[in-house]
Structure 1
Amino acid sequence: MSNTFATRLKQLRINLGYSQVGFSEILDIPTASYRKYEKDVREPTLSVVSKFFLHPATKDSALWLLTGEQQVLSSEPQAPAQPPLVFQTDMEQSLINSIASSLEFIAHMKWFTPGTQAGYQDYGHIILRDLKPLLLQDSATHDEKRRA
C-alpha cells in the first residue's frame, strides 16, 4: 500500500468513521475538492491543511497525515505510524442508526422542504420516541453494572 497523502487521508477518514461527504463537511472543505485530494488528483492548499490541524477530530493525526510520521515525544524507537482508531460502542451505533432512520422517514414523508421553517420540536419528539427504548435499555444495563 502506498504511503501518499491521498492514501493517508482516506485511511484517516475511514478510521474516524466518516463518508467522503461527511468528512468534507466537518472540515468545511468542498466535497468535490476533498474527493480530488483523496484520489491524489489535487494537492490541498495551506488553508485546507490548516483545517486538519485545527479540527478536534483530526488535529492529533495532522502531522501523520502530512508526513506519514508521528511526532516523536521520546527518544525511544517508535512503531510504524498509524492513524488513531475511533471506536463506537454498540449503543452509539444503534443511536446513530436510529437517528438516521428517523431523519430518512421525516424527509421521505416530506414534512419539511428546504427554505421553509421546519418544526424542529416535532422532529425532536419523533426522534426521541424512536430512541426512547434504546435509552431505557442502556439505562437499565448501566444500573445492572453498577449493582454488580
Structure 2
Amino acid sequence: MSITLGEKFKLIRETFGLSQVKFAEKLEISLSSYKKYESGFQEVGRPALQKVASDPDCVKYALWLVADITNPEAGQIAPGDTEPEQAKVAAQLKQEEYEAQAAKVLTDALMMFCYLDWFTPNKDKMNFDDCAKLLLKDLQPVINQRFETNQKIQAIKSA
C-alpha cells in the first residue's frame, strides 16, 4: 500500500528531526502549503516535489519519493533504511569474513591434496595460506557469476 507524497514528506522531515516550520524554511516552501501537504488537504505539486527531491540532504530519498522503490547500491533509500555508507561497511565486513572462510577451506583442500600425494608444495616459495588466497582471487569471478545467475533465476521464479 502506497502512502501519499504528503505522508512521505512527513517521514523525511521526521528523519531529520525538524519541525514543520524548519523543514518548510529549509525547502523554501510556504508553511501553510507545507502543512496542507502533510495533512492531506492539498496535493503536492511538481515544484514542491522537486524542491524536496533535489535538496542535498533529501536527494537520497528521491527515488523512493517518486517511484516507491529504493536502490541502496545507488544511494537511494527510504527514511529509516540503513545509510549506503553504513551498508557498504557492513558488506565489507561480510566480504572479509567470506574471504577468511574461503581461504581456510582452500587451505584445507590443498593440505588434503598434498596428503593424497597429488602435488608437493615448495614451502620455500609459498605457504598454503598464500596459495589459498591466490586460488580465491582466481575463483572469485566464477563464484560471483554463479551467484548472480542464481539471483536472476530466483527473481524470474518469484515474478
Name the TM-score class by shorter chain. 0.3 to 0.5
Bigger relative CO (Cα 8 Å, ≥ 6 apart): 1
Which structure shows the higher helix fraction? 2
Q: TM-score, normalised by structure 2?
A: 0.43
Q: TM-score, normalised by structure 1?
A: 0.46
